[in-house]
Chain A
Amino acid sequence: MESSFLIDMTKCNGCRGCQVACKQWNQNQADKTKISPKFTNPVKLNAKTYTNIDFFESEKDGHLSRNFARNGCFHCKKPSCVSACPVAALFKTKEGPVIYRAERCIGCRYCMLACPFNIPKFEWESISPRIQKCTFCHERILDNKIPACAKTCPSGTIHFGDSIENNLKEARRRLSENPGRYFNHIYGERRCGSSRSDLEIHLRHPGHHRRSTGCRHRQLDYHAQEQKYARGG
């Protein structure tokens, strides 16, 4: 895979353009939503929403600061969902994206249980239900196009076009040059011990790390984990 995402959430302005572009390209219906206290909308991912921007508030220099994080499939290097699927309906393409072949799926939903980030979603209302998740716009990638969310992002949050190695270098540079701007961790480089992504790395706001999905136990023990990684664990 030549190109991957570098998602720098400190650049995000919360316009949700990526959510809209994702829905447009995948022709997913809109959700019926209402304003929630957090302003995250839709509150959670579902079968019609592959990505959403998580709104949250934190305090910075005594002022209220509104920050964002992005939810969606990480396209893990060794995806739990793929290893769980009994019929290889979910599979990891050689280009990197984890995609879904609906015609094979039996609907056992083991992938939903297996994913540590609760990403695969199920069409509960359908009589012929499918699993739904971000495909990294695999068909666009094959056509040498940019994924819809990256194409539409106006603030430069979603950077697409470099290899994962270059993006990792760039992420490390940003972390070291801007102390305090980020939570000191590259999401997707190593996460949950083994499931690193080869398509997406996220840089997040300092206040966010305990709010992210998945890896509940390990987050509580975050600093011990960090030291373990530093030792090459």
Chain B
Amino acid sequence: MTPAQDKIKLFTPVTLGLLIVIIAGALAVYKKLTLGEITTNLQDDFPWGLWIGFNVLGGVAMAAGGFVIASAVYLLNMKKYKPIARPAILTAFIGYLLAAFTIFLDIGHPMRIWHPMVMWQIRSVMFIVAIHVILYTTVLGLESSPMLLEKLKLGGLKKIIEKLMVPIALFGTLLSVLHQSSLGAVYLIVPDKLHSLWYSQTLPFSFLVSAVMMGLCMVSFVSILSSKFFNHSANMGIFSGLARGSIITIAFYLILKIYLLLTGPGAAAAFTGSMESMMYLLEMSVGVVIPLILLLLPGIRNSIGGIFLVDILVIGGVVINRMNIAVFGLLKHAGERGVRYFPTGNEIMVTLFLIAFGAVLFKLAVKYLNVLSYEEA
């Protein structure tokens, strides 16, 4: 253990708060598993809610940083980013584990979660999504396994995996690009239900672009946060590099979204004052327009605090986007059929549980594994 890791205290007030959330959330999970879907507010005309929108779509988008950094470091040989490869991949791994756990909870028959592996239905987007979750979680496990193997003193196995890292990263990038976009493709089948502000035939593509955008910001966010909490020195060059990448992706995404708005429902649809148009404007301003303006100011771009603010905005904006597609954009259709949806306390508790669990898992990994001090080791 390095001196920096020694200094990480196990029980800080924040961690204790997270532990309380975890205990309360574990009860909510138990309640869902024993009582079934009745603990949620999902109904016949609104079958998917908070868990799919926030935990699965949002969580998987947050994990996009894993494949972006893995392909930068292992495929494009951008050595500069090697120090953040481990935290990025670990974040992605935790994100995928939590998304997979949410799917396990959300489906009506959790014990049949393995069915898609043997009962193939290759015309189903959901089948593709299921297979990608399984394969990519495995890849992320392999990509982050050296951290654990060196702790367990299995040097031989670690060497083998590190030799195979390039093909693993290549496979991971392939899977991840497909998985991010296939999550968008899930909603291609609901042209009549999803609000026209979000529905378009390019949903898979806009999911991919926004995931890359969020991935870059998530990596930067996690690194800055860990440097603050875990006394780890941050390298400004890395963050401004990530910020440059963010500018390009955000600008591209903005152009894409404006094009989709103009060719789809028309610009007026965003300003009707309806709930949907407000959510759309919120998503676009928080996640796209304001961050882009901020990043174009040199004062913000060259300061850690400024980049951190932008990261939070983009992460929030993309999460709002996913929630809009999975929940808010479908509420109008459900409303026409007399259905309203607001998650139950149990649903909200499970979501909080997973966030807290992910944070504590990351902290434990930082304390006991060689996550942040990779370069020095």
Contact = CB atoms under 8 A, between A and B. Distances in A.
A127 B35 contact: yes
B192 A122 contact: no
A85 B115 CA distance: 12
Interface stretch (A56-64, A103-111, A169-177): A103-111
Interface stretch (B61-69, B105-113, B154-162, B235-243): B105-113
B119 A87 contact: yes
B36 A129 contact: yes
Contacts of B338: 43-44
Between B36, B44, B186, B338, the greatest number of chain A beta carbons within 10 A of the residue's beta carbon is seen for B44
Interface stretch (A8-16, A138-146, A152-160, A209-217): A209-217
A106 B113 contact: yes
A87 B333 CA distance: 27
A84 B124 contact: yes
Contacts of B35: 127
Interface string A77-89: 0001001111110
A217 B192 contact: yes
A106 B47 contact: no
A112 B47 CA distance: 7
A206 interface: no
A113 B47 contact: yes
Given A80-B189, A214-B192, A217-B191, A106 B108 contact: yes
Nearest to A219: B192
Given A106-B113, A127-B36, A84 B43 contact: no
A122 B108 contact: yes
Nearest to B124: A86
A46 B45 CA distance: 10
Contacts of B127: 86-87
A122 B107 CA distance: 11
Interface in B83-111: 103, 106-109
Contacts of B124: 83-86, 110
Contacts of A128: 108-109
A113 B193 contact: yes
A112 B113 CA distance: 18
Given A86-B126, A106-B116, A112-B47, A218 B121 contact: no
Overall SS of chain A's interface: loop
A213 B43 CA distance: 17
Contacts of B346: none
B341 to A, nearest CB: 13
Contacts of A217: 191-192, 196
Interface string B24-51: 0000000000111110001111011000
A124 B38 contact: yes
B125 interface: yes
Interface residues of B, number: 41
B190 interface: yes
B116 A122 contact: no
B189 A121 contact: no
A87 B120 CA distance: 6
A186 interface: no
A87 B124 CA distance: 8
A113 B189 contact: yes
B126 A124 contact: no
Range for the number of chain A residues in contact with chain B: 35 or more
A85 B126 contact: yes
A127 B116 CA distance: 21
Contact of A122 (B37, B130, B193): B37
Contacts of B120: 88
Contacts of A47: 44
Contacts of B34: 127
A106 B44 contact: no
Interface in B265-303: none
Contacts of B163: none
A108 B333 contact: no
A45 B191 CA distance: 22
B119 to A, nearest CB: 4
Nearest to A114: B189
A116 interface: yes
Given A127-B36, A129-B108, 7 more contacts: A43-B338, A44-B338, A83-B123, A84-B126, A87-B115, A113-B190, A192-B192
Interface of B: 34-38, 42-45, 47-48, 103, 106-109, 112-113, 115-116, 119-121, 123-127, 129-130, 186, 189-193, 196, 333, 336-338
18 contacts: A83-B123, A84-B125, A85-B126, A86-B116, A86-B124, A87-B121, A106-B115, A107-B107, A107-B108, A108-B108, A110-B126, A118-B337, A121-B44, A124-B43, A124-B44, A126-B36, A129-B109, A216-B333
